[in-house]
Amino acid sequence: MATKKVLLISGSAVMKELPDLSSYAEVYSLDQLSQPALDSILGSVDCMLVGVLWPKVLNREALARMNHLRFIQLGFAGANHVPFQNLPPGVTVCSNAGAFSTGVGEYTWALVLAASKRITRFDSALRKSENSPDFFSKTLRGVTILQGKSLGIVGYGGIGRRVALYGRAFGMEILAFSRHAQTEPVTKIFQGREGLLQMLRVSDVVVVSIALTNKTKGLIGAQELSAMKPNAIVVNIARSEILDEEALYEHMVANPGFTYATDVWHEVSGVDARSSEFSFLELDNFIGTPHVSGPSEMATGEPIRLAVDNLLRYLKGESPGNVVDASEYT
Amino acid sequence: MATKKVLLISGSAVMKELPDLSSYAEVYSLDQLSQPALDSILGSVDCMLVGVLWPKVLNREALARMNHLRFIQLGFAGANHVPFQNLPPGVTVCSNAGAFSTGVGEYTWALVLAASKRITRFDSALRKSENSPDFFSKTLRGVTILQGKSLGIVGYGGIGRRVALYGRAFGMEILAFSRHAQTEPVTKIFQGREGLLQMLRVSDVVVVSIALTNKTKGLIGAQELSAMKPNAIVVNIARSEILDEEALYEHMVANPGFTYATDVWHEVSGVDARSSEFSFLELDNFIGTPHVSGPSEMATGEPIRLAVDNLLRYLKGESPGNVVDASEYT
């Protein structure tokens, strides 16, 4: 019988009821290892389960010593936190794409509706007794009925498809920007930069649900924003850096009828900043929540169950899914 | 050829592009009549189109003189503002039930999702820099995933059915409290007081979309509230008086995990108060908007088109729909 593979797990705090993997691997939890203990196993680690963000202790120096590392399974759908440039050659990285369709999809629709119906604006105005007839009639005119409108989905993966399902139930026309050919019923797939601009021109609501890679960073900048309808609603559930932050802020100030709702924030030093050099939180046409859509779904345990299922495929010698193309991140 | 009927229209401000009714009736707009002119036609008015709330000028004295009045078409879905006790005998009143399914249905789901995902809470906390790890983790635990949960709909008319459609798209089990037999696919219809309590006991989200009549006023009081799950979400899109206000306030203070989201308010002197002797607006588990769901749909013109269609049935001698049972209001 072959020697068991060594599996290193990080972010175990998010993992309730992790199944017993000891028949497949020798399992170590990074959170419970002293530095000397970690040092002693680094060279024998074969695979990893990274529950949340990449652990800082596995820096360039540590990774240089992980010369047996072959496989990394992520708990997150996004892989942009992985230090691809420091990984030993030949490591397969698998994301957890698709595992967040339900909770994050629902959360996305909550932001779409909060923006369309001006829910945060009305609730906050009532609490501040800001309830003049002028405010009332002006904000009332900003309430949008979704039925019959166009929904443009930037990135048509698990979350994008779930959002399309909700959009169809609300009687919207579904458009999608995707590099993949059409595999689910949508009105039209748009591809390439010109396709993106075409889709943005006709969309009443735009949902950003695309992976952050070196191809999508800054995908939506000044030109894309100005292509949109002046009263468009943009919901970002993916990563903040897909939009150019300065162009976005200027567009929002110049177009008070435009709304940006986001659960994701520009990062500072690798963590969500929840603030910005631009005063988004002072704008009436901004809705922000502190990156809770993923964590609230993680709390159900389901995403980690799916990640472990994929890890088990590797451990059993089967082909895992969701293999990340590292060239998109380096 | 018979003499044309006299039609009196009120609330014409909400009516864009009213079709030409002059081939069916002699049309007067209440907003454009002087008091002497109104006095001179009151006795000959045969039918009315009441665009918004019942016009105050048509008080008990005026109504006593409207002895030719036979038919009233309402622009609103609710009839609780009509002074039934002052109407001449034999007047048929038709509501505009069903005309608000789209806009109000969508608005209802916006409140369901804002409550489930704590959107107003997170947005307002960020704006107030109230973003401690403790607030974050506590509020995060309050985020609910709807898929697989139970949706109890109190009043299964046009809006209730639309809400059921959205609930099904979100993978929820649909329960409905309705006096009518089952006519659309729902998991179960509940009837009578014991049925209502049964439904409330198992519902994770409760939507109140029932007409306010003398049978439904105070339908949900202390006993019904205490039957609910402690972390239930109640969305009221109908009329505030369907809930007992004091019992509701006490229940919310005692159960911080319970959420009440409403677009409708208890009335003071016949108008929405948008405030209360109880400090709902100071509660974290309250979401309030200033009765905008109906008006924002009215602004599309569609509800008035449907009301005019029904009025035309009367004018052409056909049978109008949505006839109100006056005994439920007197």
**DSSP assignment of B147-162:** TT-EEEEES-SHHHHH
The answer to whether residue B126 scores a pLDDT higher than 90 is: no
Nearest by CB to B169, from A165, A292, A296: name it.
A165
The answer to whether residue B265 scores a pLDDT higher than 70 is: yes
* Residue B114 · residue B143 · CB < 8 Å: no
pLDDT for A183: 64
Whole-Å CA distances, B321 to A292, B74, B270? 47, 12, 27
**What percent of chain B is predicted at pLDDT more than 70?**
95
pLDDT for A47: 97
pLDDT for A17: 76
**Residue of higher predicted confidence among B179 and A183:** B179
Q: How confident is the model at residue B275 (pLDDT cuts 50, 70, 90)?
A: low
Asked if A119's CB is within 8 angstroms of B119's CB, the reply is: yes
**Structure tokens of B248?**
């509701």
Asked if B141's CB is within 8 angstroms of A288's CB, the reply is: no
Whole-Å CA distances, A196 to A124, A148, A239, A257, B283? 35, 21, 18, 22, 43
* Residue A61 · residue A85 · CB < 8 Å: no
Nearest by CB to B126, from A139, A147, A288: name it.
A288
Q: How confident is the model at residue A249 (pLDDT cuts 50, 70, 90)?
A: very high
Residue B226 CB: number of other CB atoms within 10 A?
14
Phi, then psi, of B139 in degrees rounded to 5: -70, -35
The pTM (predicted TM-score) of the whole model is 0.92
Chain A nearest CA to B25, separation (Å): 33
Q: How confident is the model at residue A131 (pLDDT cuts 50, 70, 90)?
A: low
**Residue B86 burial (C-beta neighbours within 10 Å; 0-12, 13-18, 19+):** middle
Element of type H or E holding A28? strand A25-29
Optimal mutation site among B143, B204, B265, interface A, most CBs of chain A within 10 A? B143
Phi, then psi, of A159 in degrees rounded to 5: -70, -45
Distance CA B292, CA B106 (A): 12
The answer to whether residue B198 scores a pLDDT higher than 70 is: yes
pLDDT for B68: 96
Segment 31-50 of chain B within 8 Å of chain A by CB: none
Mean pLDDT, residues B62-81: 95
ipTM for the assembly: 0.91
Whole-Å CA distances, A160 to A95, A106, A178, A294, A329? 16, 11, 10, 14, 21
CB neighbours of B168 closer than 8 A, spacing ≥ 6? A169, B174
Task: Give the bridge partners for A272, in sequence order.
Answer: A267
User: How do residues A250-270 score in pLDDT, each as one tens digit?
Assistant: 999 999 999 999 999 766 555
Report DSSP letters for A36-69, one per residue. Answer: HHHHHHHTTEEEEEE-SSPPTTS-HHHHHT-TT-
**Residue of higher predicted confidence among B14 and A159:** A159
Nearest by CB to B292, from A114, A143, A166: name it.
A143
Segment 88-127 of chain B within 8 Å of chain A by CB: 102-103, 106-107, 109-111, 113-114, 116-120, 122-127
Nearest by CB to B289, from A122, A293, A300: name it.
A122
Nearest by CB to A131, from B103, B274, B300: name it.
B274
DSSP state of A25: E
Distance CA B179, CA B176 (A): 10
Q: Of A16-20, A85-89, B246-250, which gets the smallest average pLDDT?
A: A16-20
Q: How confident is the model at residue B271 (pLDDT cuts 50, 70, 90)?
A: low
pLDDT for A135: 80
* Residue B279 · residue B248 · CB < 8 Å: no
Nearest 10 degrees: Cα torsion B58, B61, B64, B65: -80
pLDDT for B26: 95
Cα angle, residue B132 at apex, residues B129 and B137 outer, rounded to 5°: 125
Closest Cα to residue B219, out of B189, B185, B195, B196? B196
- Residue A13: strand, helix, or coil: helix
Which residues of chain A are within 8 Å of residue B298 when distances are taken between CB atoms?
none
The answer to whether residue B181 scores a pLDDT higher than 90 is: no
Asked if B290's CB is within 8 angstroms of A136's CB, the reply is: yes
The answer to whether residue B269 scores a pLDDT higher than 60 is: no
**What percent of chain A is predicted at pLDDT more than 90?**
77
Distance CA B88, CA B81 (A): 16
**Structure tokens of B99?**
């005309």
Segment 154-183 of chain B within 8 Å of chain A by CB: 165-166, 168-171
**Residue B300 burial (C-beta neighbours within 10 Å; 0-12, 13-18, 19+):** middle
The answer to whether residue A1 scores a pLDDT higher than 60 is: no
Distance CA B73, CA A107 (A): 40
CA nearest to B280 within chain A: A127
DSSP state of A243: B
**What percent of chain B is predicted at pLDDT more than 90?**
77
Element of type H or E holding A175? strand A173-177
Asked if B109's CB is within 8 angstroms of A113's CB, the reply is: yes
Nearest by CB to A169, from B141, B145, B169: name it.
B169
Which residues of chain B are within 8 Å of residue A293 when distances are taken between CB atoms?
117
* Residue A115 · residue A287 · CB < 8 Å: yes
Nearest by CB to A140, from B143, B166, B295: name it.
B295
Closest Cα to residue B92, out of B329, B328, B324, B330? B324
- Greatest alpha-carbon pair distance for chain A in Å reads 78
Chain B nearest CA to A88, separation (Å): 35
Distance CA A289, CA A293 (A): 9
Which residues of chain A are within 8 Å of residue B107 when distances are taken between CB atoms?
117, 143
Which residues of chain B are within 8 Å of residue A120 when distances are taken between CB atoms?
114, 119-120, 123-124
Asked if A119's CB is within 8 angstroms of B124's CB, the reply is: no
Distance CA B105, CA B113 (A): 13
Whole-Å CA distances, A100 to A160, A209, B7? 11, 11, 57
Segment 200-259 of chain A within 8 Å of chain B by CB: none
- Residue B142: strand, helix, or coil: coil
For A145-180, b/e burial (b = at least 16 CB within 10 A) is bbeebbbbbbbbbbbbbbbbbbbbbbebbbbbbbee
Q: Of A15-24, A159-168, B102-111, which gets the smallest average pLDDT?
A: A15-24
pLDDT for A246: 95
- State chain B's mean pLDDT as an integer: 92
Q: How confident is the model at residue B1 (pLDDT cuts 50, 70, 90)?
A: very low
CA nearest to B275 within chain A: A126
Segment 252-281 of chain A within 8 Å of chain B by CB: 274, 281
Residue spans of alpha helices (H) in chain A = 35-42, 60-64, 101-117, 119-127, 133-141, 158-169, 192-202, 222-227, 245-254, 293-298, 302-315
For B189-222, b/e burial (b = at least 16 CB within 10 A) is bbeeeeebbbbbeebbbbbbbbbbbeebeebbbe
Nearest by CB to A120, from B123, B141, B293: name it.
B123
Task: Give the bridge partners for A153, in sequence order.
Answer: A176, A207
- State chain A's mean pLDDT as an integer: 92
pLDDT for A300: 87
User: How do residues B182-192 score in pLDDT, each as one tens digit?
Assistant: 666 677 899 99
